[in-house]
Amino acid sequence: MTGPDGDFDGAPQRGTANGNEGSAELRRAVAFLEWDATSARVIEAGYRAGAGVALVFAVVVAFVSGPVPGVLFGLAGGLCATHAVHRGPVWLASLRRTRALGAAPGLVGRLVLRMRLDPSTERAVRFAARTGDGPLADGLARRERANADGPTSGLRAFAREWRPWFPAIDRAAALVRTAASAPPERRGRCLDRALDATIAGTTDRLAAFVGEVRGPVSALYAFGVLLPLAFIALLPAAAAAGVPIGPGVIAALYLGVLPAGLLAAAAWLLSRRPVAFAPPNIDGDHPDVPERGIHAAVAGLGTGGVAAVVAARFVAEWTAPVAGVGVGAGVALFVAVRHRRAVLSNVRAVERTLPDAMTVIGGDVAEGVAVESAIANAGERLDGATGELFERAGQRSDTLRVGVREAFLGRGGPAVPVPSPRVRGAVALLAVAAREGRPAGDVLLELADQLEDLRELESDARRQLATVTGTLTNTAAVFAPLVGGATVALATGIDSVDAGGLGAGATAGADALGVGGAGGTGATGGETVGSPGESTPGSNGGALSVPVLGRIVGAYVLILAALLTALATGLERGFDRTLVAYRIGIALPTAAATYLVAFLGAGLLL
């Protein structure tokens, strides 16, 4: 396991990199991600991807709009693809560091608690590293092993390694080392300040990020949602003025350029987040997560088909693909991750009342009760998931005559299906307390206070980001589909009025949009008006009809629902696949339904 610099000595790589090896930043990112591929392979893959994307873009756009736009779009797409592949590892490494730093307060808290039991930096480092997971705990374990035969614990080297990304951890480590040699009456103050420094550093960085991100999010909202959707309403006016815009241009703009720009902006915003309190990873190996791929696909296809039929019957024929894709994809995602979401909810329920359990156990141990008996008492006194967890652990300990760790985390243990670093850290400290006896009671009470502080820290971080993420979420699921549907209905209404006799220019504008006037097909057709043989604007096959426009805008609304929901989730809780898929699974059907209802309602009013 390498450090955040991708270097085993923790120092950034220096020197000028040649074009085959890439920049030092890219090399550090690849090493930190522990990929088998080298930075040179990434550079080569970027050039190949750029060439392939450029060729595809050039051919498709040239077929639709001509050779000159094809060449321009091909060059732009190829350069963007190459840059995305070259910067991808750096972005992924940044996300991983952000997720890792969310565990910093917990790691320092475990250092502090172990130091309260025994003022040995080496034992505290070993305990904190072995009771955590992720890059921070792995990095600390690596430093501890490297200094196992030396005079130091490796804590200083570890802090220097992560200092460029989180300066507070260096200060906390210095205070922990100072506490090891401080008199007993001053040791507690040093340890308190170490934890306070970490929490304060996290809070300050999050507050600064919230202030910095408001402007970019507002720009994303304006240029990614408001202006593109408002531009739709101008299309009938442009056609009436004799400047028709073909479907190829609109499709390239709304299904290519704008989504790519939004994706790049979202990636940039996520990479700027300093700390993320990401939930634990829940993979397919979890005993409560059955394989549901086939069920998700069947549910998605079935509900998508029903939604498409209903939309075509009661709204308009062209709405069938929008309803089918939006509802079907959303339901498939929801079904695929709902069991993981249930596990995550159980983990959160246990963590929510874990401080209460530690308070009960710590109070009993401080009064001379054995840790095993205190665990059983906590199970009897507490309700909910946490009480059940400790009750089962107490029963296992009494029945099987095993230690604390085995009672919780042994084969079939109640804490095994709860992949929470906090629960595992608490179990590890309970195991130490079982050896230490009565003096460990106060430390367990201190653990309860720490767990409560960490929970409040996460809640405060989410509250700070709520003003930003709430706007993005509401825009993705409701506001953008509402505006999009109403705008398409407005375009249909304007074309109908134009075709009804507002003059030759207006009729030509309606024809340019492919919407029939008198004797035409209306909002669901693509025929144009005119005498045989006459050439009117839009009488060619490349006219932009309202059905085509509606499908393009509907697809863009669904893309917005997915991208903005993923961005809001990543900003709030870190880019966790389970949460992102779950929330997108809710946002897509909501956005599709809102879009169709807005189109239908606005059409009735017009």
**Where do the structural domains in the chain lie, given as residue ranges?**
346-454
Q: Within the chain, how many helices (H) and strands (E) appear?
A: 23, 0
Most confident of 25-29, 286-290, 566-570: 566-570
Per-residue confidence (pLDDT) for residue 469, from 0 to 100: 85
Give the pLDDT confidence of 486-501 residue by residue, as tens digits.
Answer: 888 887 766 554 444 4
Per-residue confidence (pLDDT) for residue 524, from 0 to 100: 40
Q: Answer whether 493's CB lies under 8 Å from 604's CB.
A: no
Give the pLDDT confidence of 173-224 residue by residue, as tens digits.
Answer: 999 999 988 898 888 899 999 999 999 988 888 888 888 888 888 888 888 8
Check pLDDT > 70 for residue 21. no
Check pLDDT > 50 for residue 7. no
Per-residue confidence (pLDDT) for residue 276, from 0 to 100: 80
Check pLDDT > 70 for residue 526. no
Under the banding of pLDDT at 50, 70 and 90, the label for residue 335 is very high
Check pLDDT > 90 for residue 134. no
Give the pLDDT confidence of 539-577 residue by residue, as tens digits.
Answer: 334 456 788 889 999 999 999 999 999 999 988 887 788
Per-residue confidence (pLDDT) for residue 570, from 0 to 100: 87
Check pLDDT > 80 for residue 533. no
The span from the CA of 379 to the CA of 359, in Å, is 12
Higher-confidence residue of 275 and 560: namely 560
Q: Mean pLDDT across the chain, nearest whole number?
A: 82
Under the banding of pLDDT at 50, 70 and 90, the label for residue 430 is very high
Per-residue confidence (pLDDT) for residue 333, from 0 to 100: 94
Under the banding of pLDDT at 50, 70 and 90, the label for residue 37 is confident
Segment among 1-10, 76-85, 317-326, 576-585 with least mean pLDDT = 1-10
Under the banding of pLDDT at 50, 70 and 90, the label for residue 50 is very high
Give the pLDDT confidence of 350-403 residue by residue, as tens digits.
Answer: 999 999 999 999 999 999 999 999 999 999 999 889 999 999 999 999 888 899
Check pLDDT > 60 for residue 532. no
The span from the CA of 420 to the CA of 414, in Å, is 12
Under the banding of pLDDT at 50, 70 and 90, the label for residue 295 is confident
The percentage of the chain sitting over the pLDDT mark of 90, rounded to a whole number, equals 32
DSSP assignment of 59-114: HHHHHHH-HHHHHHHHHHHHHHHHHHHHHHHHHHHHHHHHHHHTTHHHHHHHHHHH
The span from the CA of 362 to the CA of 364, in Å, is 5
Kindly state the average pLDDT of the residues 82-91. Answer: 90
Check pLDDT > 60 for residue 509. no
Under the banding of pLDDT at 50, 70 and 90, the label for residue 9 is very low
Give the pLDDT confidence of 135-149 residue by residue, as tens digits.
Answer: 888 899 998 888 876
Q: How far is CA 346 from CA 34, 75, 415, 420, 422, in A?
A: 31, 50, 11, 10, 14
Kindly state the average pLDDT of the residues 268-283. Answer: 81
Q: b/e per residue, 369-388, with b = 16+ CB within 10 A?
A: bebbebbbbbbeebeebbbb
Check pLDDT > 50 for residue 505. no
Under the banding of pLDDT at 50, 70 and 90, the label for residue 592 is very high
Segment among 106-110, 249-253, 481-485 with least mean pLDDT = 249-253
Under the banding of pLDDT at 50, 70 and 90, the label for residue 151 is low
Query: Of the candidates 552, 546, 510, which has an alpha carbon nearest to the alpha carbon of residue 237?
Result: 510
How is residue 74 written in tokens? 């091909």
